[in-house]
Amino acid sequence: MEALGHLFAPLFESGRIADAILLLVAAEALLVALLPGRLGPRAPLLAGLAAGAGLLLALRATLVGAPWPWIAAALAAAFAAHLTEMGLRRAEALRRREPVATSPEPPALPAHAPPHPGPHPGPAARAPGRVAPLRHRGRHRA
């Protein structure tokens, strides 16, 4: 465990760990940009990566002891990117008329009910042997 401490402590103290992860996020964004259509809609993915990058910038600023306005600005940028991603995903779901969900599982209930089979069955469709109640037309008999 001591060996890991000597390896990782300088990375965390200098904020370089956040830089390394930011490089991975940038590589992923480049991959998403170069492979259109294979990974789904690009705009929501890129917005999600931007939100993650904002959080990593806030982490880096915290690790190096940056003033709080820098941390707040990075968090605000991450939040704006997250809202953008949610808006893009909602617009896509509305276009497809699918429920918005975070799970890849299909919804438990269909988005709309199947069409009704037709009008309510009349007296002719009653079970055999049952007689419809007698209804008087016209005046009431005494």
Could you state, in order of their start, the residue ranges of all structural domains in the chain? 9-96
What distance in Å separates the CA atoms of residue 118 and residue 11, rounded to the nearest whole number?
A: 70
Taking only the tens place, the pLDDT of each residue in 27-39 is 999 998 888 776 6
What predicted TM-score, i.e. pTM, was given to this entire model? 0.63
Indicate if the pLDDT at residue 50 is higher than 70. Answer: yes
According to the model, what pLDDT value does residue 129 have?
61
Task: Please enumerate in sequence order all residues whose Cβ is within 8 A of that of 81, keeping only pairs 6 or more positions apart, or say none.
Answer: 47, 48, 50, 51, 53, 54
According to the model, what pLDDT value does residue 44 have?
92
Most confident of 52-56, 94-98, 99-103: 52-56
Give me the long-range contacts of 77-82 (CB less than 8 A, separation at least 24): 77/50, 78/50, 78/51, 78/52, 78/53, 78/54, 79/51, 79/54, 80/54, 81/47, 81/48, 81/50, 81/51, 81/53, 81/54, 82/47, 82/48, 82/51
